[in-house]
Amino acid sequence: MGTDKELSLRLLEEIKRLTAGRERPMRLMEVCGTHTVSIFRAGLRQLLPPEVELVSGPGCPVCVTPDGYMDAAIAYAGMGDVIVATFGDMLKVPGSASSLAEAAARGGDVRIVYSPLDALAIAKEHPNKKVVFLAVGFETTAPTAAAAVLAAAQESVENFFLLPAQKLVPPAIRALLADEDARIDGFLLPGHVAVVTGSETFSFLPKEYRLPGVVAGFSPTELLRGIYRLVWQAAAGEAHIENEYKSVVRPEGNPAAQTMMKQVCETCTAEWRGLGEIPSSGLRLRDAYRRFDFSAMRPLDLPPAPPKKSGCRCGEVLRGKISPRECKLFGKACAPEHAAGPCMVSAEGVCAAWHKYGGGVFRYD
Amino acid sequence: MTDTIQLAHGAGGRMSARLMDEVVRPILGNPVLDRMHDGAVLDTGGKIAFTTDSYVVAPRFFPGGSIGRLAVCGTVNDLAVSGAEAKYLSLALILEEGLAVGELVRVLKDVRTAADEAGVSVVTGDTKVVGHGSCDGIYINTAGIGEMMAGADIAPRNIRPGMEVIVSGFLGDHAATITAARHGLKLPETIQSDAAPLNGLVREMLRAVPEIACLRDPTRGGAAATLNELADQSGTGVLLDEEAIPVRPEVESVCELLGFEPLYLANEGKLIAFVPAEKTEALLEAMRAHPCGKEARRVGVVTDKAPGQVAMKTGLGGIRVVDMPTGSLVPRIC
C-alpha cells in the first residue's frame, strides 16, 4: 500500500484532536527499525502534534548484536578454510578492534548474501571450505535460517554452518518495561515480525502492563493509522492489541514458519547490546542440529570484548531513554562514515536514521 | 585475427597492429585517428574544457547501453555540464586476456554510435592487455576536449537563493537497470539505462536561457549527492518537493525491493539545472522540445535557510533532510 494523502491528513487531524490538551506527551515506541526509517522518510515526526512523542526501540538486529559476536565473526573470517556469508549490513559493524569489511580487506573471504539459502548454495559450490552464515535477526529471518539448516541436514551438506545470534522481540519489550523509568504509553508493533509470530504474541502488553499495541504496516498512511489507533485507545481508556496490517498478519501468525523454527531452535539467554542479558530472548540450535553451530564446532578462545571507551550511548538510545541528539558524539565523533556505535552503522539503526534524515527536528520556516 | 584477446594484442608488435587495423579502426576510424601518430593534432577555437573518466561497469552490456556507450556519454556529459561542446575523445582500453574479440567489437560499435550521436570523434587511444583475472573483461578510460559554448557561465558560485532547481527527466533508470541485471530481476522493457549524450540538450538550453547558473549530471550518488555538493559549494540550501520528483513507478518498486531511494541512484543521461525563477518556464519549454528533456520538471528552490543543506518537503507536508550518501550503494555502476 502506498501513501493515501487524503486519508493520512485526516488521520493526522484525528490524532491532533484526540491528544489536544494532554498534560504529558504520549510516548509511543516503534520497535522496528524499518518503521523508524519510514517515519523519518515521510517526515512524520514534525507533522505529529507535540502531544505525541515517537521513541525508537531496539528493533534493528545489527544494532543489538554485541561486540563479542562481531569479534568471533572477524576471527573466523581470518581463517583460511572459512567463508563468512552475511547480510550486507554487518560488514561495517565495529567489533572490539576491527570490522568484517577490514577483515575482507586483509584477505578474508566475506560474501554478502540476501538469504541463508544463498549461503547454503555457496557451501555446495565450495566443498573444501567451511561456509559460516551470520544468523543475525529477529523472528522475521529465523525461519529461513532454520530452513537452510534443515535443507543442509537433508542433503548432507557437511560444510554449512550458522553463527547463531538470532533474537526474539517480545522478551526484549518485557525487558524494556521492567525498567521503571521506561515511560512508554503504547507500542507500534513490528509488522514483519508479526507475520511470523502473529499479533497474539503481544497480548501480554495489555494483560500484564495495561498498554495498547498496534501491529502496523510500513507506508506513512499505515503508520499514521497505527498511531491513530494507539491514541484512540488511550483517549478511550482502553488497552488491547490491534492488527492494522491484516493483509499479511494473522492473529496466529505463520504456523509453518513457527514449526520450522521450533524444530531446529530452542530459546536461550541472549546478550543484547545496550540491554544486557535477557532470559529466553535468543535462539540456539537444538542438540540434534548442534553440529551446524560453528561456535560449537570450532570454539574460539577470544578475550572478552573490552568496554567501549568512547562515551557512545547507543545502549540508552536502544532503550528509548535518550534521543540520539542527546549523545555528545552524535554527528561529530560518530557519523555514518566513522561510526562509534552500532546504531550509526546499520541503515536501520536509530542514530543513522536521525543523522540521515535530519533528526526529525529540522524546521525550514 | 584470433577470436579472443591475447596478451600479445597489447604488446605493441604485429598483433597490436592487426587489432588496430582489423578491429578498432574499421569501427572508429576518422581522418585524425587514421594518421596513427602517437598524438593527435587538433583544431580548436577559443577556450576549451578538458575532462577524463574511467568506466568499469558490470555487467558490460545492459538494457539501454553498454560500457562503450557509457564511456562516450559520461565524458561528453561532463563537458556539457561545464558548458562545453565535446569535440574530441581519447579512448584507452584495458582488456583481459581471453576476452572474445566479438565482445570488443560490440563495445566499439556502441562507442561509435554514441560518438556519432554526440558529434565527437575518437582521435587517439591506447590498448593494454592484462593477464586472465587481472581485470573483469574490459575497462575503458576516455578523456575529452570540448569547446566552450557561447555565453556559458556555469559554476556553483552563480547559484543564488530564489533560483529554481530543474531536472531533465526520470531519475534512477540507469542504476535500477544495472542493479536489476545484477540481481537477476526482470524489469519491464520500459526500464533501461538512460545513457545518452546531453550536449545537444545543453546547447538548446543555453540558447533559450543563457542565464542558467549551474548544471551538473547526477551520476554516482544520484541527485542527492549532486545537490549536496552544489549546496555546499554555493553556500545555499536546496528545498525539494517530493511530489514533483520524476521517478518511474517501476524504478520505485525496484528501490522498495532492494532498500534504495531513487534520489541516490546514478543516472547517465540526466542533468540538474539551477536557473533564475523568472526563466524557469522558458527553460522548461526548451528542454521539453528536446528528446533528452521531455520529462523536465521544476523540483525545488534554492533558499538562504540552512546553507549547505538539502531538504525535502514530503508528500504529507513533513520536511526531512536529504543527506549526502555514505559508502557505495552499488559498486561498479559506471
Average pLDDT of span B285-291: 98
Alpha-helical segments (H) within B184-276: 199-208, 222-234, 249-258
Superfamily of chain region B7-148? PurM-like, N-terminal domain (3.30.1330.10)
* Three-state secondary-structure class, residue B249: helix
Q: Grid coordinates standing for A205?
A: 502488553
The alpha carbon of residue A202 is apart from the nearest alpha carbon of chain B, in Å, by: 27
| B319 → closest Cβ in A43, A335, A337 | A43
Average pLDDT of span B319-331: 78
Q: What is the pLDDT of residue A365?
A: 46
Task: Pick B156-321's CATH classification: 3.60.110.10, 1.20.120.160, 3.90.650.10, 2.60.120.200.
Answer: 3.90.650.10
Task: Kindly state whether A10 is in contact with chain B, defined as any CB-CB distance less than 8 angstroms.
Answer: no
Domain-wise residue ranges, chain A: 27-301+309-357
Question: Do residues A52 and A16 make contact, with C-beta atoms less than 8 angstroms apart?
Answer: no
* Three-state secondary-structure class, residue B298: strand
CA distance B57 to A319: 43
Q: pLDDT band for position B255 (50/70/90)?
A: confident
CA distance B64 to B187: 12
Q: Please report residues of A whose CB lies closer than 8 A to that of B318.
A: 42-47
| A47 → closest Cβ in B309, B317, B327 | B317
* Residues in chain A where the model's pLDDT stays below 50: 1, 360, 362-363, 365
pTM listed for this prediction: 0.83
Q: What is the pLDDT of residue B327?
A: 64
CA nearest to A40 within chain B: B320
Q: What is the pLDDT of residue A98?
A: 85
Average pLDDT of span B168-178: 95
pLDDT tops 80 at residue B3: yes
Could you give the ipTM of this predicted complex?
0.73
- Look at the block and give the residue holding cell 535518550: A322
Domain-wise residue ranges, chain B: 7-148, 156-321
Q: What is the pLDDT of residue B328?
A: 61
Question: Do residues A130 and A296 make contact, with C-beta atoms less than 8 angstroms apart?
Answer: no
Could you tell me whether strands A52-59 and A26-32 are parallel, antiparallel, or unpaired per DSSP bridges?
Answer: parallel
Q: What is the pLDDT of residue A266?
A: 97
The alpha carbon of residue B324 is apart from the nearest alpha carbon of chain A, in Å, by: 8
| A364 → closest Cβ in B239, B261, B315 | B239
Superfamily of chain region A27-301+309-357? HypD, alpha/beta domain 2 (3.40.50.11740)
CA distance B144 to B73: 11
Express each pLDDT in B56-65 by its tens digit. Answer: 999 999 999 9
Question: Do residues A224 and A30 make contact, with C-beta atoms less than 8 angstroms apart?
Answer: no
Q: Grid coordinates standing for A53?
A: 512523542
Q: pLDDT band for position B151 (50/70/90)?
A: confident
Q: Which of A119, A265, A251 is nearest to A195 (CA)?
A: A251
Q: Please report residues of B whose CB lies closer than 8 A to that of A47.
A: 316-318
Could you tell me whether strands A186-190 and B84-96 are parallel, antiparallel, or unpaired per DSSP bridges?
Answer: unpaired
Residue contacts between A and B (CB atoms, under 8 Å): 70
Cis peptide before B246 (omega within 30 of 0): no
The alpha carbon of residue A175 is apart from the nearest alpha carbon of chain B, in Å, by: 30
* Three-state secondary-structure class, residue A236: helix
Q: Give A253's DSSP letter.
A: -
Q: What is the pLDDT of residue A175?
A: 92
Q: What is the pLDDT of residue B329?
A: 61
DSSP secondary structure of A140-191? TTHHHHHHHHHHHHHTT-TTEEEEEEEB-HHHHHHHHHHSTT----EEEEEH
Average pLDDT value over all residues in chain B: 93
Question: Do residues A72 and A98 make contact, with C-beta atoms less than 8 angstroms apart?
Answer: no
Q: What is the pLDDT of residue B237?
A: 95
Q: In what order do the strands lie in the sheet with B272-275?
A: B214-216, B272-275, B164-167, B297-303, B237-241, B310-313, B319-321
Cβ of A358 within 8 Å of Cβ of B239? The answer is no
Q: Looking at per-residue confidence, does B294 or B305 come out higher? A: B294
Q: Please report residues of B whose CB lies closer than 8 A to that of A358.
A: 309, 311, 319-321, 323
CA nearest to B309 within chain A: A358
Q: pLDDT band for position B256 (50/70/90)?
A: confident
Q: Is the Cα dihedral A313, A55, A5, B254 positive or negative?
A: positive
Bridge partners, A53 (sequence order)? A27
CA nearest to B323 within chain A: A356
Task: Kindly state whether A346 is in contact with chain B, defined as any CB-CB distance less than 8 angstroms.
Answer: no
Fold matches, B7-148 and B156-321: no
The alpha carbon of residue A114 is apart from the nearest alpha carbon of chain B, in Å, by: 10
| A40 → closest Cβ in B315, B316, B320 | B320
Q: Which site among B243, B303, B319 would you substitute to test the A interface, given the most A Cβ atoms closer than 10 Å to its Cβ?
A: B319
Q: What is the pLDDT of residue A2?
A: 62
Q: Which of A93, A105, A170 is nearest to A136 (CA)?
A: A93
CA distance B139 to B93: 6
| A5 → closest Cβ in B303, B315, B323 | B315
Q: What is the pLDDT of residue A308?
A: 64
Residues 82-141 of A with CB under 8 A from B: 92
Average pLDDT of span B215-232: 96
Average pLDDT of span B312-316: 91
